[in-house]
């Protein structure tokens, strides 16, 4: 079972690189959605069956794999943008930095004093690597929608780490985390809408040209 969970985490790491290496926003959203589905299945692989677990798994898959991606795809269509053309950090350098961050995540995780049952698992290094890749996208892309995708990757990384603490985490805390994520997406949607309407662009670097009158 742990081996199957590790295989899912390896796929999640590969999806990080898929997002880092593409300029197509719709593809990035689908990759993050697939990653969300994989993460939604993970609790079922590491915890015994219960109807409560089924409810959580279905909720996570619905939110991460369907609701949020649909909202972002709609924002992409309304803004009429398809690609991130000139990022702050190019795609090849992004892949190189992503590989570096992933390697450092494994090195750092190996030095952490983990509980015996968590040693040798990929949860901690996959969590750190996904957070760092999300941060790299958040800081290295110009489009506001690309930065939302980076935020989602970071949240996925935090979620992976939270799976190790799931037994000690009340259901309401988990529900609160999902609610915070939804609120964050809606807020970013409002910001994207205003940027597109007021400045006719979603390039956040142009906001630096604003001056007080």
Q: What is the pLDDT of residues 43-77, one digit of tens each?
A: 888 877 778 778 888 888 888 888 888 888 887 88
pLDDT at 8: 93
Mean pLDDT, residues 81-87 taken together: 79
pLDDT at 105: 94
Helix residue spans in the chain (DSSP H): 2-20, 25-46, 51-62, 68-79, 91-111, 123-140, 144-163, 171-199
Q: Is 155 exposed, middle or buried (0-12, 13-18, 19+ CB in 10 A)?
A: buried
Model pTM? 0.82
Is residue 2 scored above 70 in pLDDT?
no
Give the pLDDT confidence of 196-205 residue by residue, as tens digits.
Answer: 554 555 565 6
DSSP assignment string, 70-101? HHHHHHHHHHT--B--S-SS-HHHHHHHHHHH
Tokens of 158: 């935090």
């Amino acid at each position: 079972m742990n081996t199957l969970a590790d295989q899912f985490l390896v796929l999640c790491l590969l999806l990080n690189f898929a997002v880092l290496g593409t300029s197509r926003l719709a593809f990035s959203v689908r990759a993050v959605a697939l990653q969300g589905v994989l993460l939604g299945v993970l609790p079922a692989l590491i915890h015994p069956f219960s109807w409560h677990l089924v409810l959580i798994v279905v909720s996570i898959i619905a939110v991460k794999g369907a609701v949020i991606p649909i909202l972002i795809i709609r924002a992409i269509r309304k803004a009429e943008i398809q690609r991130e053309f000139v990022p702050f950090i190019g795609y090849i350098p992004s892949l190189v930095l992503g590989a570096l961050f992933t390697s450092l995540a494994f090195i750092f995780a190996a030095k952490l004093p983990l509980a015996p049952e968590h040693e040798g698992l990929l949860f901690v290094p996959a969590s750190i690597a996904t957070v760092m890749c999300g941060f790299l996208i958040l800081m290295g892309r110009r489009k506001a929608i690309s930065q939302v995708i980076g935020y989602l990757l970071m949240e996925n990384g935090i979620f992976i780490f939270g799976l190790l603490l799931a037994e000690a985490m009340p259901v309401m805390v988990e529900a609160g985390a999902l609610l915070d994520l939804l609120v964050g997406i809606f807020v970013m949607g409002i910001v994207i809408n205003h940027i597109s309407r007021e400045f006719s662009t979603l390039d956040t670097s142009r906001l630096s040209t604003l001056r007080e009158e």
